[in-house]
Chain A
Amino acid sequence: MEVESMRPYSSRELDRAESAEIEALIAASKEPHPDPVTWIDEEVRKNVLVTAVDSLLNWGRHYSLWPVNFGLACCAFEMVATAVSRFDISRFGMELFRPSPRQADLLLVAGTLTWKMAPALKRVYDQMAEPKWVLAMGACAISGGPFRDSYSVVPGVNLIVPVDVYVPGCPPRPEALLHGIIMLHQKIDKDTFLKKRQDDQAPLR
C-alpha cells in the first residue's frame, strides 16, 4: 500500500498503457515487413573501389557478429545448446551473447512470439545499432507455427521486424541454427556498406 501510493502512476494506468501499446502494434502489423533482399542484384552495380572497401568491412562484420538472445520458448534451449561447448558458436566469431541490444548486431528470435511480448521485440530491435540483422528461428517465429490461428500469437515475427534468415524446424537442431548463421555470413559478404536499408528510410550509412 505504501509503495502503491508513492508511485507517480497506478497499476491500472500501467495496464492501460500496455494495452494501448499492444493494440496499436496489432493495428499497425497487418502486413509482413518485406525481407531485406536488395543485396541479390547489387552485385552487378558494384565498382572496384567500393568492392575492396566492402569486402574488408564485410569480412570484419562477418567474423564478429554479436547476437542478442531473444529466447521465447523451447527454441531458446537449442540456441543455448548451440552457444555452449558441444556446438560452440564461438567458432563463428560470435561467442558473446549480448545482454544489451545496443552492443549487438544480430537479433536471434527463438520461439513463439505473443502479442503481449511483441512491443518488447520491437523495442529491442529499434535499440540495436545499424547494421543489424534478424534471424527467425523455428516454426513459431517464421509463421506462428502450430499456434498460427491462436488468439495470442503473432503469426510470424516478420509482421513486427524484417527478417534476414529463416531457420525452419520445431525446434531446429543446433546444426540447423549454425547453417542459418553461415547463410547470414554469406549474405553479409554480399552486402555493400553504401546501401540503404530497405525496410526503413534511414540515411546512408
Chain B
Amino acid sequence: MTKPLSGEDIARQIGEHLHDAVTEFDESAVFVKGEALLEVARFLKESPGLDFDYLTAITAVDFSEHFELVYHLTSIKNNHSVVLKARCYERENPTLPSVAGLWQGADFQEREIYDLMGIAFDGHPNMKRILLWEGFQGHPLRKDYGGQAASTEGEVEG
C-alpha cells in the first residue's frame, strides 16, 4: 500500500530549500504559491528520498473566488504519495506554470483543464483545446458557465 506522506513533513522539506514557496499545509496536502509551483514540483521530483517520479492526476476545482489545482504525486521508487495544491485568484486570465516538462503525463491533463476550466499553463508545448472543438465559447466546468446547450430548440413534448 502506498504510504501517504504528511503535508507538514513535506512542507518542512520544501521550506528548507525554497523559502516562501509554501503558503499553508494540512494533514494530507501542501499548498504552494502558483509562481513557485514549477520549482516545488522539480524539487519533489528530483530530491533523493522524495523521488516523486509519477504524476497520478491533476484536477482543477472552481471555488468561485479562486481556482485550486490539485496535483496527486506518487513515488514508484519509494512507494509514497503526496498531494500538492496551488491556488489561482485570477479569473479573467488564470495562468500557472506547466509541469509537462517534468512529467509527460501532464500534457493532456493540462490541456483538458485549459479546455474545460480555462486555466492556461505557461510553457506547455501545445496549449489548445483537447475535447471540445476550437472556437467553442466559454469553459463549461466553471461554476459561472452560463452557456446554453448547442441546440435545445424544441423541448420534449409531454
Contact = CB atoms under 8 A, between A and B. Distances in A.
Interface of B: 128, 131-136, 140, 145, 147-154, 156
A181 interface: no
> Which applies to chain A's interface (DSSP): helix, strand, loop or mixed?
loop
Contacts of B154: 31-32
Interface of A: 15-16, 18-19, 22-23, 26, 29-32, 115-116, 143, 148-155, 159
Contacts of A154: 150-151
Given A15-B128, A15-B134, A16-B134, A30 B147 contact: no
A153 B149 contact: yes
Contact of B133 (A22, A30, A149): A22
Nearest to A26: B150
A159 B148 CA distance: 17
B134 A19 contact: yes
A155 B132 contact: no
B132 A152 contact: yes
A32 B154 CA distance: 9
A22 B136 CA distance: 10
17 contacts: A18-B133, A19-B133, A19-B134, A23-B135, A26-B150, A26-B151, A148-B152, A151-B132, A151-B136, A151-B147, A151-B149, A152-B131, A152-B140, A153-B149, A154-B151, A155-B151, A155-B152
